[in-house]
Structure 1
């Protein structure tokens, strides 16, 4: 990318949109891993107040659904 293109991304704020979208995608990946690893069933010991407790089943489903909605919304917005 040229310096002018990078400057345009910063000027228009698209840098923040890209950063937000990539962060949401990374969170979705971590949530997916939580479905198959032990730390998706029991809170890790480093989580204050919840360490060792069972993770409620609705929590990953709700968070995963929210991530899916955000990603689908951003994808649909790119079609206009």
Structure 2
């Protein structure tokens, strides 16, 4: 009986920890994907005659917004 009780408590604690760690992990993954997309946009952009500076601002835009953020940065670089 005690094993079942402690097993359920352990399962509940595991679910709580996973819920808490989900948000920072998602931000980290989005940031890495955004940085890779920014790098790929620079590679493709070098053939078209433009580059996007990789700095904290562009990395945050690419990380938070993903593909729409990369498109926004490319449009901004081409027209402004």
Query: TM-score normalised to the size of structure 2?
Result: 0.44
Larger RCO: 1 or 2 (CA < 8 Å, sep 6+): 2
Who wins on radius of gyration, i.e. which is larger? 2
Greater fraction of residues in helix: 2
